[in-house]
Amino acid sequence: RLQGHNSFAIWFAGLSGSGKSTLASALEKRLYQRGLRTFILDGDNIRSGLNKDLDFSEESRRENIRRIGEVAKLMIDAGCIVLSAFISPFRQEREMVKSMVGEENYVEVFVNCPLEECEKRDVKGLYAKARAGEISNFTGISSPFEAPENPDVKVPTHQLSLEEGVERIIFENPVLLFSGGKDSIVLTHLARKAFWPAKIPFPLMHVDTGHNFPETMKFRDDLVKSLGVKLIVGSVQESIDTGRVREETGKNASRNALQTTTLLDTIEKHNIDAAMGGARRDEEKARAKERFFSHRDDFGQWDPKNQRPELWNQFNGKKHMGEHFR
């Protein structure tokens, strides 16, 4: 409470050279800029002090992780967000740390990078020495790496920029909803300002009714091109053609209500877990009850009687597979 934010552990696991420490440092910088109290635990500050008596045998490596887990628990109790960047090759040890700090305080990030790419990045030549037999028990060569089966976040560092990797940890697959209206245009402008001079690190998503003015579509395409961002389009016409929804008839026929099915189908197709949108509360009575983080279950449903508390700047982003936030 004194720090004004929750405390927990973000546990980075991955092969040597996968980018764990680099990613953890970039995330810590982002969190620090938000005024959050953080601390990084990695080989540089652990192996040189607390664990300098340990070698790289399997037994010592297990003890290494156990001690780090104990330190992380103490720091969580002191109100810190702890970022731990270690190979953590064994599933049993990661589960041990989760048990130590509490499942609710443990976020597992699998820094997923192919072995051949890690070897290319190895400026110290450790992989070459391990292949030559000069280093024993080297993870990925002479010692196994048990990849996390169900991590909270997976970051393929060989496919993403550092900025995109950080964004994936905060939310794995976010999008910004864009319709070409004034609310979404303002939100896109704010996102551009927030990440300038870098590009917006997440796609824009448009649910296309098929009834837009040509000028609106041209503006959308020109904007996406100028920003250099990816555009995801969900088509109401495609939903009609495939039988997902039925076209309304009559003089007051509209496709507005049909957009919901197209939106949910597009969210599921692209595994989106956060859809950011701009709306005015005076437009619709229900919106006045919604929070900043509007939790949706795996059917896309919102329960107004079961919303999560939002105390000052504290938000609960925990979700199960298939759920998302808007």
List pLDDT tens digits, range 125-143: 999 999 999 998 899 999 9
Q: Classify residue 44: in a domain, yes or no.
A: yes
**pLDDT value at residue 319:** 65
> Torsion-angle region of residue 102: left (phi > 0), alpha (psi -120 to 50) or beta?
left
- Whether residue 9 contacts residue 107, with contact meaning beta carbons closer than 8 Å, is answered with yes
Polymer length in residues for the chain = 326
Rg (CA), the chain: 23
Q: Classify residue 2: in a domain, yes or no.
A: no
**pLDDT value at residue 281:** 67
Is residue 294 among the annotated active site residues?
no
79-106: average pLDDT = 92
Check whether residue 155 and residue 270 sit in a common domain: no
Q: Classify residue 3: in a domain, yes or no.
A: no
Check whether residue 93 and residue 184 sit in a common domain: no
Residue 21 pLDDT > 80: yes
List pLDDT tens digits, range 224-277: 999 999 999 999 999 999 999 899 888 888 888 889 899 999 988 887 888 888
Check whether residue 23 and residue 164 sit in a common domain: yes
Q: Classify residue 287: in a domain, yes or no.
A: yes
**pLDDT value at residue 283:** 67
**pLDDT value at residue 287:** 63
Check whether residue 118 and residue 225 sit in a common domain: no
**Lowest-pLDDT range, 87-96, 109-118, 206-215, 312-321?**
312-321
Check whether residue 129 and residue 179 sit in a common domain: no
Q: Which of 136, 170, 204 is the last residue in one of the domains? A: 170
Residue 322 pLDDT > 70: no
Q: Which of 110, 139, 170 is the last residue in one of the domains? A: 170
Check whether residue 246 and residue 157 sit in a common domain: no
Q: Classify residue 307: in a domain, yes or no.
A: yes
Parent domain of 282? 174-325
**pLDDT value at residue 314:** 66
**Among residues 17, 271, 14, 259, which one has the least CA distance to residue 123?**
17
Check whether residue 93 and residue 218 sit in a common domain: no
* CATH number (domain holding residue 246): 3.40.50.620
- Whether residue 5 contacts residue 99, with contact meaning beta carbons closer than 8 Å, is answered with no
**pLDDT value at residue 321:** 59
Q: How far from each other are the two terminal CA atoms of the chain, in whole angstroms?
A: 26
Check whether residue 27 and residue 149 sit in a common domain: yes
Check whether residue 22 and residue 117 sit in a common domain: yes
Of the pLDDT bands very low, low, confident and very high (cuts 50, 70, 90), residue 194 is confident
**pLDDT value at residue 48:** 76
Residue among 16, 18, 88, 239 flagged as catalytic: 88
Check whether residue 179 and residue 166 sit in a common domain: no
User: Alpha helix (H) ranges present in the chain?
Assistant: 20-33, 43-46, 58-77, 91-101, 115-121, 126-131, 162-170, 182-195, 214-227, 236-241, 259-269
**Lowest-pLDDT range, 150-164, 168-182, 187-201, 284-298?**
284-298
165-190: average pLDDT = 86
